[in-house]
Structure 1
Amino acid sequence: MNDLLQDFRAERGLAMTAKNDGDDRMDPEQGGGAPPPPAPDNRMSEFFEEVAEVKNVLASIRRNLHKLQDAHEESKLVTRADSFKALKERMESDIDEVSRLAHGIKTRLEQLDKKNEANRSLPGCGEGSSTDRTRVSITATLKKKLKELMAEFQTLRQRFNDDYREVVKRRYFTGAILLFWYLIFLDMAVLVEAQGEMLDNIETQVSRAVDHVQSGTNALQKAKASQKSTRKWMCCAIIILLIIIIIIVVSVLKPWRTGKA
């Protein structure tokens, strides 16, 4: 995705340089020279600004995940109830923050999809154009990153559950923590499933295409084998037929009797 951003910015830099060179060559008194090029596409600039903001939020989610992992490891060493309670509250705050950020990114990505759809109505930005492919590719990459983060979140939830089963006898309020986390992560699971539908559909279509190609290859090999077998039997039949004809001709003509006569 960074390469796409750099390519687009390089193209814009070349366009702006060409514009400045053209302006320098024009004679302001005569009003001659080539017409100025069109203004830069502000929509793509806004798009890349939104992408940068989404990437920053994704980085914040990852930092919160690391904080949760560190807090979880710390909780294994805490023995005092008041210290554990403070640690629990801190972890709950981090979980709330991750949930809020994830829902915010989900909304932003939905808005990007709508803007991508609307952008196709502009001249030169229709479906399949370089601009449309850039926008769709970057948006899909952001969705994939969000899905990966949520998958890490689910893995972390499973680790929490497994570890806290061992200490549930010593900490009576662990059950409430697990219930709270379960509800949060259940909501995250729904979010991951919704964001991953598009990528899963793409993978399914690719898998089906591979199956169709493999089936065609197998059918072609069977056809070649059948053709070879048919030719072999045809040759055998022709040879047998020639032998029969020779026998009949010899029987009718009886050349040995003619020689004796």
Structure 2
Amino acid sequence: MNDLLFTVRTQEAQNGVRGSPGVAYDIEAGYTTAKSEKSKEMEQFFNKVEELKQDMSEIRAKQREIQHMHERSKTIVRQKEMQQHRDEMQAIINEVNVTAHKAKAKIEAIDKMNAAALQKKGQGMGSASERTRTSITSGLKKKLKDLMAEFSEMRARIHDENRQVVQRRVYTVTGQHLPEEDIDTMIETGEAETIFQKAILEQGRGRVLDTLAEIQERNRAVKDLEASLLELHQVFLDMAVLVEAQGEMLDNIEKQ
């Protein structure tokens, strides 16, 4: 960023004159410094870029945390423990949703800053500042889009892995390998007692119903998580539109 900011050495400073309007006197260095409007705007731009990078870093850290918690959920066999685990995961995903929307808003704010800068002297199309702004903004949009795409992939993965966990739970209790269609129906409807009827007769209701309650709680948890992750998918779609628009703008610039 420092190479984009510059120091103005004025004639007054060279002559040791203080108090010129718009400049600040440096006692130790013996000269004055002032930032042009252009350099101030670039500093604001880079500050906003750093804020956005911090948001994405926070999202990335929480993504790893969600994945870790999902892996741990596969070993949970008690309903109450599953319920608590679901609430903890949901809280983290809610935080990601808030941060993702903040990041998207910052991207849009940067776009507005860039558009305003284009109208100013020395910052139009083809200028050094315009190329810097465009290149950095384009890269940030793509990074945020790719990050949101990973949450969409996570959503599909959680759905598939939950099916596998439920399938194993059913087999443990009933000794039956149910087809995926039956497992999906059980997950969607929440109705599973008919599948366990034989096991209830053979093993008693207590043990079987504990497993059934855990499966139902697990399915509720996954549905809630999928709904929250779907909100992040919308951010991904919005970013995809912005990336496409940025690409078209870059193509137009190259043609000119």
Q: Which residue of 2 aligns with 1:26?
A: 15
**Who is 1:188 aligned against?**
232
Q: Give the corresponding residue for 1:120.
A: 118
Q: Counterpart of 1:182 in structure 2: which amino acid?
A: E
Q: What SS does the aligned partner of 1:127 have?
A: coil
Distance of 1:205 and 1:95 partners within structure 2: 34
For 1:104, the equivalent position in structure 2 comes to: 102
Looking at structure 2, the residues matched to 176 and 50 of structure 1 have their Cα atoms a distance apart, in angstroms, of 39
CA distance, structure 2, for counterparts of residue 203 and residue 122 of structure 1? 23
Q: Secondary structure at the match of 1:39?
A: coil
**Equivalent-residue separation in structure 1 for 2:107 and 2:231 (angstroms):** 18
Q: CA RMSD in A?
A: 2.8
Rate the CA distance shift 1:206–1:111 in 2: closer, same or farther, 3 A: closer
Larger radius of gyration: 1
Aligned equivalents of 1:44 and 1:204: distance in 2? Answer: 24
CA-to-partner distance for each residue in 1:22-54, whole Å, 9 max, x for gaps?
66533649x9xxxx8863321111111111111
> Which amino acid is the alignment partner of residue 35 of structure 2?
A
CA distance, structure 1, for counterparts of residue 120 and residue 33 of structure 2:
17
* In 1, Cα distance between equivalents of 2:104 and 2:68: 26
Matched, 1:39 2:35: yes
User: Judging changes above 3 Å, is the alpha-carbon distance between structure 1 residues 164 and 60 closer, same or farther for their aligned structure 2 residues?
Assistant: same
What is residue 79 of structure 2 aligned with on the other side?
A: 81
Q: Secondary structure at the match of 1:179?
A: helix
| More deviation, 49-58/159-168 | 159-168
1:183 Cα deviation after fit: 2.3
Tell whether 2:222 aligns with 1:178. Answer: yes
1:144-174 deviation line (CA, Å, top 9, x unaligned): 1111111111111111101111234551123
For 2:74 and 2:152, locate their aligned partners in 1 and report how far apart those are by CA, in whole Å.
20
1:25–1:91 distance in 2 versus 1, CA, 3 Å: same
The 3 A distance-change label for structure 1 pair 202 and 132 is closer
Contact 2:110–2:137 at 8 Å: present in 1 too? yes
Q: Counterpart amino acid of 1:186?
A: L
Task: Work out the CA distance in 2 between the residues paired with 1:193 and 1:86.
Answer: 31
- Contact persistence 2:114–2:133 (CA under 8 A): yes
Structure 1 residue identity aligned to 2:3: A
Indicate how the Cα distance of structure 1 residues 38 and 161 shifts in structure 2: closer, same or farther if over 3 A, else same: same
SS at match of 1:173: helix
Number of residues paired by the alignment? 191
- Work out which structure has the larger RCO, using CA pairs closer than 8 Å and 6 or more positions apart in sequence: 2
Richer in helix (by share)? 1
CA offsets 1:102-151 (integer angstroms, 9 cap, x no match): 11111111111111101111110112211111112111111111111111
SS of equivalent residue, structure 2 residue 9: helix
Contact 2:138–2:246, Cα closer than 8 Å, also in 1: no
CA distance in 2, matches of 1:152, 1:195: 13
TM-score, structure 1 as length reference: 0.65
In structure 2, C-alpha distance between the alignment counterparts of 1:96 and 1:23, rounded to whole Å: 56
Q: Give the Cα separation in 1 of the matches to 2:108 and 2:77.
A: 45
Q: What residue is the counterpart of 2:135 in the other structure?
A: 137
- Judged with a 3 Å threshold, the aligned counterparts in structure 2 of structure 1 residues 11 and 54 are, in CA distance, closer, same or farther, namely closer
Aligned to 2:180: none
Identity %: 28
The change in CA–CA distance for 1:19 and 1:162 in structure 2 (over 3 A counts) is same
Instruction: Supply the AA of the counterpart residue of 1:39.
Output: K
CA distance in 2, matches of 1:129, 1:206: 14
Alignment deviations for residues 200-252 of structure 1 (CA, whole Å, 9 cap, x no partner)? 46778999xxxxxxxxxxxxxxxxxxxxxxxxxxxxxxxxxxxxxxxxxxxxx
Deviation, structure 1 residue 198: 4.1
* Structure 1: gaps of 5 or more residues: 208-261
